[in-house]
Amino acid sequence: MNILYDERVDGALPAVDKPRLLAQLRQALPDLEILHRAEDLRPYECDGLSAYRVVPLMVVLPERLEQVQTLLRLCHANRVPVVARGAGTGLSGGALPLEKGILLVMARFNRIIEVNPQGRFARSSRGAQSGDFPGRRAPRPVLRARSVLADRLLHRWQRGRERRRGALPQVRFDRA
């Protein structure tokens, strides 16, 4: 049972032959890391919202886009549901696994593809953050990861709200 999937409303999930699916995945994607033993699956039974726990059928940890594409084709052909998950820190419950489904963990998509100091740009996977860059700093004109930018905006908004309520003292800095 998953709080986001109710069989009474959404219909029953199809039965999955786990050994056959595992063999197909290993044949099509020999370099893909697949977790299928009960003790390996336990850490993935929930994200930051630990009140709801469901052990997935399997967990896959791709490193390349081609692996994700092949995995999704195979799952679609076998009618196996897939739930994508980032780093597992979410508190909304949006990445809760399905008991008869595969959990697609995208946490390894945090690679730096290219840093070009002369051109003053960098290319990276979506999950890369500014701390992942060599020298712990992205080239100046490169926008930081969206999550870092969103965190800063949220922090500013919260601090402004707290100041307006009088919870924080007004602090002004000299620009000189």
**Higher pLDDT pick, 152 / 41:** 41
Per the domain annotation, does 69 fall within a domain?
yes
On whether the CB atoms of residues 41 and 34 are closer than 8 A, the answer is: no
Do 47 and 96 lie in a common domain?
A: yes
Q: Per-residue pLDDT tens for 117-157?
A: 777 777 777 667 666 666 545 444 444 444 455 556 666 66
Tell me if 63 is assigned to some domain.
Answer: yes
- The answer to whether residues 121 and 89 belong to one domain is no
Does 30 share its domain with 54?
yes
Mean pLDDT within 166-175: 50
CB 112 within 8 A of CB 68: no
Whether 96 and 17 share a structural domain: yes
pLDDT at position 70, please? Answer: 94
Is the pTM higher than 0.75?
no
Asked whether residue 67 is assigned to any structural domain, the reply reads yes
Q: Tens digit of pLDDT for each residue in 54-70?
A: 889 999 999 888 999 99
**Do 101 and 118 belong to one domain?**
no
In a domain, 2, yes or no: no
How many Å separate Cα 151 from the centre of its chain?
16
Query: Following DSSP, what letter does each residue of 21-66 receive, concatenated?
Result: HHHHHHHH-TTSEEE-SHHHHGGGS-SS-TTS----SEEEE--SHH
pLDDT value for 114: 79
61 and 15 share one domain: yes
What torsion do the CA atoms of 117, 120, 123, 127 make, to the nearest 10 degrees? 100
Question: What gap in Å lies between CA 47 and CA 51, rounded to an integer?
Answer: 9
The rounded mean pLDDT for the chain is 76
Sheet architecture: strand order including 82-85 = 33-35, 58-61, 102-105, 82-85
CATH number at 85 reads 3.30.43.10
Amino acid 173: pLDDT: 45
Regarding whether 47 and 122 lie in a shared domain, the answer is no
Domain end among 84, 105, 126: 105
> Pick the residue with more confidence: 5 or 76?
76
Angle between helices 65-77 and 18-28 (to 10 degrees): 140
Q: Do residue 101 and residue 143 come from a single domain?
A: no
| pLDDT at site 143 | 46
Structural domain for 159, as ranges: 112-165
DSSP 85: E
Gap between the Cα atoms of 26 and 34, Å rounded? 8
Tens digit of each residue's pLDDT (9 = 90 or more) over 22-40: 999 999 999 999 999 999 9
Q: Do 25 and 83 fall into the same domain?
A: yes
Q: Work out how many domains the chain is built from and give that number.
A: 2
Instruction: Tell whether 64 is covered by a domain.
Output: yes
Q: Tokens 């092949």 map to which residue?
A: 70
19 pLDDT tier (thresholds 50, 70, 90):
very high
Q: Are 5 and 82 in contact (CB under 8 A)?
A: no
pLDDT in tens, 81-126: 998 888 777 766 667 888 889 999 888 877 777 777 777 777 777 6
Residue 160 lies inside a defined structural domain of this protein: yes
